[in-house]
Chain A
Amino acid sequence: MKAVVYSFIFVVLLSSCSDSSVTSDNQGNIKSKTKQLNIKGSDTELPLTQNEIEGFLKLNPNASISLTGGGSSVGITALIEGNTDIAMASRNLTSDENSKLGNKMQHIVKATIAYDALAIIVNPSNPINRMTKEQLQNIYLGKVENWKEMGGIDHKLSALGREQSSGSYAFFKDHILDGKSYINTMPQMSSNGQIVESIEQSPNAIGYVGIGYVTSKVKALAISFDGGKTFINPTMDKVKNGAYKIARPLYYIYSTDTKAKVEPFLNFVLSDSGQKIVESTGFIKTN
C-alpha cells in the first residue's frame, strides 16, 4: 500500500516538474490560448525544431515552447482542431486537409524553413554510379528486376522503400514515380537508419534516404533528370541551386490569427543563425 502511495506522489511530482520550457506532450490537449507556443507534427522535422528551440531559448530565456512529434498528419490535424500553433509538415496539404483548414481559419501560411533532399544509395561494391530518373522509376515500379538490365552485374535487384506513413514515401512516389504506386513486393523500412543498415549489408539493394543519413559505407548515386544528358550528385550545393531535384521543402504551417505568437520563433528559424542550425542538423538552407 505504501509503495502505491509513494509512486502516486512520485507521479504527481513528475507531472508538476514537466512544466519546463521544452516539454513533450502526447495528449495534445494544450489550448492555443495560453502563452506557450505549441509545435507539433513531422518526425523528420523533430530533431531540427528541437535544435532551433534550444537556440531560440538561449536568446529568449523566458519563452515557453512545447514540441511534439507524431507525424505530419498528426500536426495538421492538431492545427485544424486548434490544439497547436504551428504544424510541422514534410509534405503538402491534401485537398481534404486544405478544405478543413479553410473552413476554420481565414488565412493559412505555409512557411518553408528548410529543404530535405533524398539521396539514392547503393552498396559501395555495386559498379553502378549513376542512373536516370526513368531508370529509377522502372526499378520502383518493378519493371527492372536485374542489375544486368542497368549495365550492372547479373544479380537480382532489390529496391527498399520507407513506410507508407512516411513523408519520404509520399514524396518519392509523387516526384520520381509520378504518382504511380510502388511495386507491392517492396520491403518497407521503418526508418532512414534501417535502410542505410540494409544497404551496407546487401550488395544488390537500392534505397532512398534523407541526405543527412548518407554514410561512408554506402554510395549515393548521381541522378539524371534530363534523360541521361547530365548526371547530378546529391550535394548541398546542387540541391540549393535546384539542379538536384529530389528535394522537398519542410514547412511550418500556421494561421494568421496566431501570427503575433508564432512570428518571434519563426523569424529566428529563418534568420542566419537559425539557418546555420538547419545546416548543422543535416538539412539544406532555404536561401
Chain B
Amino acid sequence: MRRTRKIIEKIVEGIFALSGAITSITVLLIIVFLFQEGLSIFNQKPVEENSILAVHPNNPVSKLSGLQIKDIFDQKITNWKELGGNNDTIKLFRLDEAGSLFNEEQMGSNFERLPHCIDSYLVKTPGILLFFNNRYISKDFRGKKIEIENVNPYSFLLGKQWFPTAQPVAQLGVLPLILGTIWVTLGAILFALPFGLATAIFMAEIANHRIRNILKPVVELLAGIPSVVYGFFGLIIIVPAVQKVFNLPVGESGLAGSIVLGIMALPTIITISEDALRTTPRALKEASLALGATHWQTIRRVVLPFASSGITAGIILGIGRAIGETMAVLMVTGNAAVIPHSYFEPLRTIPATIAAELGEAAYGGLHFKALFALGCILFIMTFIVNLVFQFIAKKKKY
C-alpha cells in the first residue's frame, strides 16, 4: 500500500514539475516569437516588396527620405528644387495612371508592352517620379532608381507619423503611440489614485465589519467585468458627458480614456492597498492610540507610512493594468495618432493600435512586423513596471 502511494506521489510531483516546465517554455517561446517578428522590421525597407521608385537619369536627386516621399505624394513638395535638384516641377506617375497615359494598343492586351511605354515616357519627362511594380520594368530600363533606407530603430522610435498603410512609403513612427499610452495611463492613475486610496482607507480602518463585507465583493466584482463592457459604458455615457461638460468638438479624447481606465484600475489599487493597510500590526496602532493620538492621526502617521510600500505596489500594478488595456481604450480615445498636448484631444495607444490593425495587416508583411515591434515596446514597458513593483514590494520598512 505504502509503495503504491509513494509511486502516485512521485507521479503527481512529476506532473506538477512538467506543468511548470511547460508554462515557462510557453512564455519563453511567446517572447522569442514576439521579438523575432518585431525586430525583423529593421531589416526591411518601408516600401512594398517589388515596388520601384525611379527618376529621370539626369535628375541629381538619388536619395529621398520616407517623409520626403510622403510629402511629394501629398503634393506638399512640388518642385525638385526643394529636394536639392533642378528647378523642375515633380510629375508623379503611379501604375494605375498608365491607363490614362497610354492606350491599349501601346500597352498590349496583356500589358506586355507596358514596360517599354513606361521607359519611353520616363525619358521624355525630366521631372518624373515613377512608382511602379518591378514586373513592369523593361530590360534596358534607363531611369535612376531611388534608394530607400531600411527602417531604423531611431526613426521608428522617434518618428512622429504613423501611417503604416501609406503608399508608396509607409510611415512608421511610434512616438505618438508611446506617448499616447503613457499619457492616458498617467491620467488614469491621477484619477484612480485619490478614489482608490480613500476607498482602501475607508474599508481597512473606518468601515465596520458589515459594510466592509458588502463593499469588498463589490470592488472585486469590478475587476471581473469584461473590458468591452467598460468600453461600451465609456462610449455611451462618459464620451458624451465629457463632450458636453468641456464643450469639445468630439468627446472621444484622452480624458474619456483616462476616466474609463481609471475605473478599471480601481479594483487593483483598492484591493492591494487595503491588504497593505490591514497588515499594520495591531500593536503599532494601539500604541499610537494609547499615546493619545486620534483615529485620524493614527491613520495618517502610523498606518499610512507602514503600508506605503504596499500602496505604491498597488498603484504600480494599477499602472500595469492600464498600460496593457486594449478594448476599452480603443473605443473611447478616438485613436488619432498624434503626440498628445492636452487631455481634450483624441490620442492613440499601443494596444489599441495593435488590436485595430492586426486583423487587416497581411501576414509577414511590413505592417504586420511593425505591429509586432509595437508589441515588443509594450512588453518592455510592462516589464519595467513589473520590475519596479517587485523592487518596491520587497522593500518593507518599519
Q: Which one, B70, B249, B363, contacts A156 given CB within 8 A?
A: B249
Tell whether, in the assembled complex, residue B161 and residue A184 are in contact, meaning their CB atoms are under 8 Å apart.
yes
Q: Which one, B249, B335, B345, B361, contacts A73 given CB within 8 A?
A: B361
Tell whether, in the assembled complex, residue B163 and residue A96 are in contact, meaning their CB atoms are under 8 Å apart.
no
Residues of B within 8 A of A (CB): 48-51, 70, 73-75, 94-96, 132-135, 161-167, 176, 235, 239-240, 243, 249-252, 330-331, 334-338, 345-346, 348, 356-357, 359-363
Tell whether, in the assembled complex, residue A202 and residue B49 are in contact, meaning their CB atoms are under 8 Å apart.
no
With contacts A99-B135, A184-B161, A194-B235 known, is A77 near B362, CB below 8 A? yes
Q: Which residues of B contact A76 (CB under 8 A)?
A: 362
Please name 10 further chain A to chain B contacts, defined as beta carbons within 8 Å, in addition to the given A163-B360, A201-B240, A202-B243, sorted by A numbering: A95-B48, A95-B95, A181-B70, A184-B161, A184-B176, A184-B336, A187-B336, A187-B346, A198-B239, A205-B250
- B-facing residues in A173-217 (Cβ within 8 Å): 179-181, 184-190, 194, 197-198, 201-202, 204-205
Tell whether, in the assembled complex, residue A74 and residue B336 are in contact, meaning their CB atoms are under 8 Å apart.
no
- B-facing residues in A31-81 (Cβ within 8 Å): 43, 70-74, 76-77
Q: Distance (Å) between the CB of A263 and the closest chain B CB?
A: 23
Say yes or no: is A117 at the interface (Cβ < 8 Å to chain B).
no
- B-facing residues in A237-287 (Cβ within 8 Å): none
Q: Which residues of B contact A77 (CB under 8 A)?
A: 362-363
Q: Which one, A71, A181, A204, contacts B163 given CB within 8 A?
A: A181
Q: Which one, B48, B334, B335, B359, contacts A96 given CB within 8 A?
A: B48
Q: Which one, A43, A95, A180, contacts B75 given CB within 8 A?
A: A180
Q: Which residues of A contact B163 (CB under 8 A)?
A: 164, 181, 184
Say yes or no: is A125 at the interface (Cβ < 8 Å to chain B).
no
Name the residue on B nearest A161 (C-beta).
B336
Name the residue on A nearest B327 (C-beta).
A190
Q: Which one, A72, A95, A163, contacts B133 given CB within 8 A?
A: A95
Tell whether, in the assembled complex, residue B338 and residue A99 are in contact, meaning their CB atoms are under 8 Å apart.
no
Name the residue on A nearest B352 (C-beta).
A190
Closest 7 CB pairs of A and B: A165-B360, A158-B249, A187-B334, A71-B360, A95-B133, A187-B346, A96-B48
Q: Distance (Å) between the CB of B350 and the closest chain A CB?
A: 14
Q: Distance (Å) between the CB of B368 and the closest chain A CB?
A: 9
Say yes or no: is A22 at the interface (Cβ < 8 Å to chain B).
no
Name the residue on A nearest B131 (C-beta).
A95
Kindly state the separation between the CA atoms of A163 and B251 in the bound complex, as whole angstroms: 18
Among A43, A102, A197, the one with the most B-chain Cβ atoms within 10 Å of its Cβ is A197
Kindly state the separation between the CA atoms of A116 and B301 in the bound complex, as whole angstroms: 67
Tell whether, in the assembled complex, residue B357 and residue A164 are in contact, meaning their CB atoms are under 8 Å apart.
yes
Kindly state the separation between the CA atoms of A55 and B243 in the bound complex, as whole angstroms: 44
Tell whether, in the assembled complex, residue B357 and residue A157 are in contact, meaning their CB atoms are under 8 Å apart.
no
Tell whether, in the assembled complex, residue A163 and residue B357 are in contact, meaning their CB atoms are under 8 Å apart.
yes
Q: Which one, B166, B249, B356, contacts A190 given CB within 8 A?
A: B356
Q: Which one, A99, A166, A184, A205, contacts B249 given CB within 8 A?
A: A205
Q: Which residues of B contact A96 (CB under 8 A)?
A: 48-51, 133
Q: Which residues of B contact A205 (CB under 8 A)?
A: 249-250
Tell whether, in the assembled complex, residue A198 and residue B252 are in contact, meaning their CB atoms are under 8 Å apart.
yes
Tell whether, in the assembled complex, residue A74 and residue B360 are in contact, meaning their CB atoms are under 8 Å apart.
yes
Tell whether, in the assembled complex, residue B166 and residue A181 are in contact, meaning their CB atoms are under 8 Å apart.
yes
With contacts A164-B164, A186-B336, A202-B249 known, is A94 near B363, CB below 8 A? no
Q: Distance (Å) between the CB of B149 and the closest chain A CB?
A: 19
Say yes or no: is A131 at the interface (Cβ < 8 Å to chain B).
no
Tell whether, in the assembled complex, residue A71 and residue B249 are in contact, meaning their CB atoms are under 8 Å apart.
no
Tell whether, in the assembled complex, residue A184 and residue B338 are in contact, meaning their CB atoms are under 8 Å apart.
yes
Tell whether, in the assembled complex, residue A95 and residue B330 are in contact, meaning their CB atoms are under 8 Å apart.
no
Q: Distance (Å) between the CB of A150 and the closest chain B CB?
A: 14
Q: Which residues of A contact B338 (CB under 8 A)?
A: 184-185
Q: Which residues of A contact B75 (CB under 8 A)?
A: 180
Say yes or no: is A98 at the interface (Cβ < 8 Å to chain B).
yes
Q: Which residues of A contact B337 (CB under 8 A)?
A: 184, 188
Kindly state the separation between the CA atoms of A164 and B346 in the bound complex, as whole angstroms: 15
Tell whether, in the assembled complex, residue A73 and residue B334 are in contact, meaning their CB atoms are under 8 Å apart.
no
Q: Distance (Å) between the CB of B303 and the closest chain A CB?
A: 42
Kindly state the separation between the CA atoms of A185 and B135 in the bound complex, as whole angstroms: 37
Residue contacts A-B, CB under 8 angstroms, 7 given: A73-B362, A94-B48, A95-B133, A163-B360, A187-B334, A190-B331, A201-B239
Tell whether, in the assembled complex, residue B165 and residue A170 are in contact, meaning their CB atoms are under 8 Å apart.
yes
Kindly state the separation between the CA atoms of A164 and B94 in the bound complex, as whole angstroms: 21
Tell whether, in the assembled complex, residue A188 and residue B334 are in contact, meaning their CB atoms are under 8 Å apart.
yes
